[in-house]
Structure 1
Amino acid sequence: MVKTPLICPSILASDFAKLGQEVAAIEAAGADWVHVDVMDGHFVPNLTIGPAVVKALRPHSTLPFDVHLMVAPVDPWLEAYREAGADILSVHPESGPHLHRTLGTIRGLGARAGIVFNPATPLSILEEVVDLVDLVLIMSVNPGFGGQKFIDSALTKIERARAILDRAGSPAHLQVDGGVVAANAGACVSAGADALVAGSSVFKGGADAYADNIKALKAAA
Structure 2
Amino acid sequence: MEHIRISPSLMTMNLDKFKEEITFLDQHIDSFHVDIMDGRFVPNLSLSPWFIQETRKLTSKPMSAHLMVMDPSFWVQQLIDIRCEIICLPAERINGIAFRLIDQIHAAGLKAGVVLNPETPLDTIMPYIDILDKITVMTVDPGFAGQRFLHKMLDRIRELRTLREQNSYHYEIELDGSTNKSHWKAIHDAKPDVYVIGKSGLFGLTNHIENSWEQMKQEFEETTGQKFA
Per the TM superposition, whether the score is higher than 0.5 is: yes
- Opposite residue 182 of structure 2, the aligned amino acid is A
Larger relative contact order (C-alpha < 8 A, sep ≥ 6)?
1
TM-score when normalising by structure 1? 0.90
Deviation, structure 1 residue 85 = 4.1
| Cα distance change on mapping 1:194 and 1:182 into 2, 3 Å | farther
Which residue of the partner structure matches residue 185 of structure 2? 186
- Distance, in Å, in 2 between the alignment partners of 1:170 and 1:74 is 24
Corresponding residue number in structure 2 for 1:126: 125
TM-superposed CA distance for 1:184, in Å, is: 2.0
Give the 3 Å change call, closer, same or farther, for CA 202–108 of structure 1 in structure 2. Answer: same
Written as runs of structure 1 = structure 2, the 5 A alignment for 1:12-91 is 12-28=11-27, 30-91=28-89
Could you list the structure 1 runs, at least 4 aligned residues long, displaced by more than 4 angstroms after superposition.
none
Which of 102-111 and 210-219 deviates more?
210-219
Q: Does the 8 A contact of 2:132 with 2:170 survive in 1?
A: no
How many aligned positions are there?
Answer: 219
**Is the contact made by 2:71 and 2:93 (CA closer than 8 Å) also made in structure 1?**
yes
State which drifts further: 178-187 or 135-144: 178-187
Consecutive unaligned residues in structure 1, runs of 5 or more:
none
Q: Letter of the aligned partner of 2:190 in structure 1? A: A
1:136 is matched with 135
> 1:173, CA displacement in angstroms?
0.9
Two-structure CA RMSD over aligned residues (Å): 2.0
Distance 2:83 2:217 in 1: 27
Secondary structure of the equivalent of 1:80?
A: helix
- Give the residue type in structure 2 aligned to 1:211: W
- Residues 74-122 of structure 1: per-residue CA shift (max 9 Å, x gap): 0121121233341111011222332122111111122111111000111
CA–CA distance in structure 1, aligned partners of residues 50 and 63 of structure 2: 14
Letter paired with 2:184: A
C-alpha displacement of 1:129: 1.0
- Please state how far the C-alpha of 1:177 moved relative to its aligned partner: 0.4
Partner of 2:213: 211
Give the share of equivalent positions with the same residue, in percent.
Answer: 27
